[in-house]
Structure 1
Amino acid sequence: MRILLQTALHLELNAMKAYLSDVKSETHPETGSKYERGIFSYQGRQAEVLLVETGAGNVRAAEETTRAIEHFNPDSAFFVGVAGGLKDVKLGDVVASTKVIGYEMGKDDDEFRPRLDTLQSAYSLQQIAKQLLRDDNWKKDLPEENRDQIAAYVEPIAAGDKVVASERAVAFQYLRKFCSDALAVAMEGNGFMVAAHAHNTEAMEIRGISDMISDKAEADASGSQPRAADNAAAFAFAIIRQKLTDTKKKNNIKDSVFRGKLLNTLLEMYPQGPEQDDIWKRAGGDVSILSNSMSRRSQWYNALERLALGGGGAKMTLQTLIEQVRIDYPNLQNDLF
């Protein structure tokens, strides 16, 4: 599984980087964009994670999202960071988007006539987020003394290129009038969602409330931003944990039905058998168990049977095999992988 995590600020990126192991810096081969790539592990499953710091604003977010998706081909993408609270939230609370409302589009005539650019978050991600709220088990990475003070919501988030710093601001009055269902406002979500939708990538924005519009400067000075970023990261990784759990239930190498589907798919991709392109070896498999005296289908059948019994190789798992297949087929769209 591949997860793209994007932020606007360095402190937000660091909040998510703390969840990863084996983090390495990476450079986009064409644009020179700098990334951090690492591994998130949970109950024997792993997600490969790419961290991207986009900078502020919807235009930058759209550009960097496009580059990162084309480079990394993620299964899911999240924009995670801090935001201003508009209503019904307090400092430290988390809002996961049902939709992102681009509020600055419109026609400026005798009066401004809004043409809101609204994009829905992926249904599957909304369902996981709502389940986390029902179970109330997403807070385990937060300091125990703070857990009861923090709430999470799955509600709309507004996005524009203005820093709204006062309830007297024209933009705030506009948000109250035309985006009355939004709980938070930030500056990157619309560009991020536009790019994700264009690439058919399931996406969601997740924000920790670092200030209320009426006391933005005071809240920022109090250290609310790092706390809000930590809370947003905790919720994002709770979603990723659930995705890994759901995938584990669905794709179990010990399940004969799944193994049969995997056999047929691998035979199409690697018709010369497990030794083609060193796929078995690259995945950490023991090539000595492979026999050239069998048909290619039999080779794959026996190799997967060994893997199901834990004998594919000392360093081999279903996940390492999937990771190598995805390297060979970066645009693969298949539920088995």
Structure 2
Amino acid sequence: MSKILIQTALSLEFEAVKAFLSNVQIERHPSTGSIYNKGIYQANEVLIVETGAGNVRSADETGRAIEFFKPDYVFFVGVAGGLKDVKIGDVVASSKVIGFEMGKDDTEFKPRLDTIPSSYLLEQIAKHVKREGQWRQLLKVENKEEPEALVQPIAAGEKVVSSNQSVAFSYLKNYCSDAVAVEMEGNGFLLAARPYHAHAIEVRGISDLIENKTEADAGGSQPRAAANAAAFCFEMINQIEIEKVKFPDTNTLEFRKKLVNELTTLYPQGPEQDDIWKRAGGDVSIFTNSANRKSQWFNAIEKLYLGGGGNEISITSLMNEIKGDYPNFISEVLNNT
């Protein structure tokens, strides 16, 4: 089964996630003393981290937790303000997160948006969960209206946007018109996950519609939105495990031979072609020019399965990078094995 890291900004979001876990225990980071909760969900090991508000805190805790826990999948679960096409209680999974604060402050402000895509795999699973609608069966709170789910862009900044008359709201409408929600941690979260080649995505429940935010919060919209987001997240985890059952055992020699054949076709000049090994976090100094390219690939994959090949590379990071070059690569390798 999988190792899942789930981040939250607020305690109420943390509790919404924790409600799905059993055998919850305290876990402490050996170097920093950071305190986590670790529990079990459907045989998956889940670590929960409360980052606090803001992209900087989120990035700091994300990198630390990924390095410590080495998860297979990483989620940020919490609440957000709705910008368009949503109502209170709906859930938005991020197709991408738009960092909207960056820019050049000249005679007029010139935006330099910092846009980070979510994991392609998790985005596809989120779309599947949205279409099927089974996630509502995991809801642990009552909703006055049936919540809907979207897989759309989310904007992330460093301020709470609480009025549709504010400068920030006008800015978002002008420069982030595809964003359906706004929050304060997602950009830092995805930026920090990126160097680890982690499958990462945000899942946000809509707790307010910008205007009348205080009244919405007072009416209990935040815990309800957090619970809805947690339900969607855990249905995504359910679907991750279903998809994994369909795949062959990737640890077998048969699969590794199939993988080498595919890699030799895609990168006939060897693991150094297009910097694919280096982009995945690998050490190119392990390769020798004397070996033929197929042998280079076979030796590289064998080293990788034995824990070598470079400090940052893994089979997941390699396949993610290849997926970026050849979108159908993973399905072709797995389904034809």
> Into which bin does the TM-score normalised by the smaller protein fall?
0.7 to 0.9
Which residue number corresponds to residue 25 of structure 1?
26
Residue type of the alignment partner of 1:51: I
Secondary structure in 2 matching 1:138: helix
Which residue number corresponds to residue 233 of structure 1?
230
Contact 1:90/1:209 (8 A) holds in 2: yes
Tell me how far 1:146 sits from its aligned partner: 3.6
Secondary structure in 2 matching 1:124: helix
Residue type of the alignment partner of 1:212: L
- Could you give the per-residue CA deviations for residues 39-64 of structure 1, whole angstroms, max 9, x where no partner exists? 110xxxx2111100000000000000
Which residue number corresponds to residue 90 of structure 2?
93
**Which of 46, 49, 53 lines up with 2:46 in the alignment?**
49
Residue type of the alignment partner of 2:34: S
Would the alpha carbon gap of residues 143 and 34 (structure 1) be closer, same or farther in structure 2, given more than 3 Å must change? closer
Which residue number corresponds to residue 38 of structure 2?
37
Which residue number corresponds to residue 83 of structure 1?
80
**TM-score under structure 1 length normalisation:** 0.74
Residue type of the alignment partner of 2:236: I
Secondary structure in 2 matching 1:177: helix
Residue type of the alignment partner of 1:333: S
Count of residues paired in the alignment: 265
Tell me how far 1:234 sits from its aligned partner: 0.4
Which residue number corresponds to residue 314 of structure 2?
333
1:167 aligns to 2:164 (yes or no): yes
Residue type of the alignment partner of 1:27: R
**Which of 162, 182, 190 lines up with 2:187 in the alignment?**
190
Alignment of 1:296-307 (within 5 A): none
Which residue number corresponds to residue 177 of structure 2?
180
- Could you give the per-residue CA deviations for residues 282-320 of structure 1, whole angstroms, max 9, x where no partner exists? xxxxxxxxxxxxxxxxxxxxxxxxxxxxxxxxxxxxxxx
Tell me how far 1:148 sits from its aligned partner: 5.8
C-alpha distance in 1, partners of 2:144/2:117? 29
Residue type of the alignment partner of 2:68: H
Alignment of 1:232-271 (within 5 A): 232-251=229-248
Which residue number corresponds to residue 220 of structure 1?
217
C-alpha distance in 1, partners of 2:141/2:227? 13
Residue type of the alignment partner of 1:49: V
Would the alpha carbon gap of residues 211 and 79 (structure 1) be closer, same or farther in structure 2, given more than 3 Å must change? same
Which residue number corresponds to residue 3 of structure 2?
2
Contact 1:10/1:53 (8 A) holds in 2: yes
Tell me how far 1:333 sits from its aligned partner: 3.0
- Could you give the per-residue CA deviations for residues 206-246 of structure 1, whole angstroms, max 9, x where no partner exists? 10000110110000000000000000000000111000111
Would the alpha carbon gap of residues 144 and 201 (structure 1) be closer, same or farther in structure 2, given more than 3 Å must change? closer
Residue type of the alignment partner of 1:13: F
Gaps of 5+ in 2: 258-305, 317-333
C-alpha distance in 2, partners of 1:54/1:63? 8
Residue type of the alignment partner of 1:40: Y
Higher-Rg structure is 1
1:107 aligns to 2:110 (yes or no): no
- Could you give the per-residue CA deviations for residues 151-175 of structure 1, whole angstroms, max 9, x where no partner exists? 0000000000100011111111100
Gaps of 5+ in 1: 265-324
1:74 aligns to 2:75 (yes or no): no
Secondary structure in 2 matching 1:182: coil
Secondary structure in 1 matching 2:211: helix
Which residue number corresponds to residue 16 of structure 2?
15
Tell me how far 1:197 sits from its aligned partner: 0.7
C-alpha distance in 2, partners of 1:263/1:109? 55
Residue type of the alignment partner of 1:66: G
Tell me how far 1:259 sits from its aligned partner: 6.0
Matched-pair identity in %: 58
Would the alpha carbon gap of residues 133 and 107 (structure 1) be closer, same or farther in structure 2, given more than 3 Å must change? same
Contact 1:210/1:220 (8 A) holds in 2: yes
Tell me how far 1:113 sits from its aligned partner: 0.3
Contact 1:73/1:331 (8 A) holds in 2: no
Contact 1:162/1:187 (8 A) holds in 2: yes
**TM-score under structure 2 length normalisation:** 0.74
Alignment of 1:122-133 (within 5 A): 122-133=119-130
C-alpha distance in 2, partners of 1:188/1:60? 8
